[in-house]
A and B are shown apart, each in its own frame.
Chain A
Amino acid sequence: DAKTTQPTSMDCAEGRAANLPCNHSTISGNEYVYWYRQIHSQGPQYIIHGLKNNETNEMASLIITEDRKSSTLILPHATLRDTAVYYCIVRVILAGNMLTFGGGTRLMVKP
């Protein structure tokens, strides 16, 4: 699976959009971009994934650049409960394929 690069930490004001970047310049054509997050003392939680097109669900939006070398996870209205470590993972979709986590971005949402 391709390697990803994320900022170590970011701050965001409560109620504002949180934009978390991820670089994956060596991504292959059959690799998807996944985002998970891990709130303190909990296991990781799936957020969203995509291949080429932008995706949106009830939690977040995922914007993938046209060359697919980078992406941005957007939390449109961050709340204090969104404070967590956010992991960007690039992987081929195979049944049972493991997740390879990097260091992630520690997002702190401040009042």
Chain B
Amino acid sequence: EAGVVQSPRYKIIEKKQPVAFWCNPISGHNTLYWYLQNLGQGPELLIRYENEEAVDDSQLPKDRFSAERLKGVDSTLKIQPAELGDSAVYLCASSFSGTNEQFFGPGTRLTVL
């Protein structure tokens, strides 16, 4: 069974440029999470989806970050414009609603120059 797929694995951009990350969760998982992980720290939740609905986006900086999960399957996280402080690993995870084991993708490492 395929795990959570994320792309790209690495991205280097200059500040003020836009960037997008893509996530395909495990088949059948209707809960999808985006986490941000700064160097040396644990992941922090940005947004959680139940199917196509964003049910917890309180930690998402909405002035520059946006996310979508249009058909309740794969998801895109966008930053526009990127800032130097956005350099981090962006992790996607998925789970079945009602169960609690979250499966994580390998993450996208973003470097903003």
Determine if B106 and A96 form an interchain contact, defined as CB atoms under 8 angstroms apart. no
* Bound-state Cα–Cα, A41 to B106, Å: 7
Q: Are B41 and A103 in contact (CB under 8 A)?
A: yes
Q: CB distance B41 to A99 under 8 Å?
A: no
A97 CB contacts on chain B under 8 angstroms: 100
Of chain B, the residue at the smallest CB distance from A97 is B100
Partner of B50, one of A44, A93, A96, A98: A96
Interface size on A, residues (CB 8 A): 21
Chain A residues with Cβ below 8 Å from B31 are 95-96
B42 engages A43 (CB within 8 Å): no
CB atoms of A45 and B42 under 8 A apart: no
Which A residues between 2 and 28 are near B, CB-CB below 8 angstroms? Answer: none
- Per the bound structure, the CA–CA distance linking A8 and B56 in Å amounts to 30
How many chain B residues touch A (CB < 8 A): the figure is 27
Among B44, B98, B106, which residue has its beta carbon within 8 angstroms of that of A95?
Answer: B98
A103 / chain B contacts, CB cutoff of 8 Å = 40-42
* A102–B40 alpha-carbon span in the complex (Å): 10
CB-defined contacts of B44 to chain A, threshold 8 Å: 101
The stretch that binds A, out of B12-20, B73-81, B89-97, is B89-97
- Cα A96 to Cα B55 in complex, Å, equals 9
Cβ contact within 8 Å between B102 and A99: yes
- Tell yes or no: A42 within 8 A of B by CB: yes
Q: A46 to B101, alpha carbons, bound, how many Å?
A: 7
State A34–B107 Cα separation when bound (angstroms): 21
Chain B positions near chain A (C-beta within 8 angstroms): 4, 31, 33, 40-45, 48, 50, 55-56, 91, 93, 95, 97-107
A contact set with B: CB distance below 8 Å: 34, 41-46, 49, 87, 91, 93, 95-104
